[in-house]
């Protein structure tokens, strides 16, 4: 992603990207705000940030689902959460 000192004012900063997308939608541009799913283990240092970022996104009009499960920032945790993530990603798919 680059140097953290230079990323803050770029579109690689997820806050900037979300804000710009919401502003474009508010201005009447044909923009769809994607549904967001965020998940972390209760032992993960990212947990406090998930709540903060989810609130920020909701304030902009994004629909956000969050999940905090048992575990840490490990592949084992990711493997356990994969079914829920796939269910979220595929919920609107119509299978023939």
- Side-chain-side CA neighbours of 25 within 13 Å: the count stands at 13
Is pTM, for the whole model, over 0.85? no
- Report pLDDT digits (tens) over 3-22: 667 777 777 789 999 999 99
Q: What's phi and psi for 27, nearest 5 deg?
A: -80, 0
Question: What tokens appear for 82 in the block?
Answer: 């994969």
Nearest to 24 by CA among 11, 33, 15, 14: 33
- Residues for the chain: how many in total? 96
Helix (H/G/I), strand (E/B), else coil: 10: coil
Average pLDDT, stretch 26-54?
A: 93
Cβ–Cβ under 8 Å, residues 53 and 17: no
**Residue 74: per-residue pLDDT:** 93
Instruction: Quote the crossing angle between the two packed helices 47-60 and 14-26, to the nearest 10°.
Output: 20
């Amino acid at each position: 992603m680059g140097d953290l000192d230079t990323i803050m004012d770029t579109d690689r900063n997820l806050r900037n990207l979300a804000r710009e997308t919401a502003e474009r939608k508010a201005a009447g541009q044909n923009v769809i705000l994607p549904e967001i799913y965020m998940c972390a283990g209760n032992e993960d240092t990212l947990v406090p940030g998930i709540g903060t970022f989810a609130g920020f996104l909701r304030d902009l009009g994004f629909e956000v689902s969050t999940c905090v499960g048992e575990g840490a920032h490990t592949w084992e945790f990711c493997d356990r959460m994969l079914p829920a993530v796939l269910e979220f990603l595929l919920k609107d798919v119509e299978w023939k």
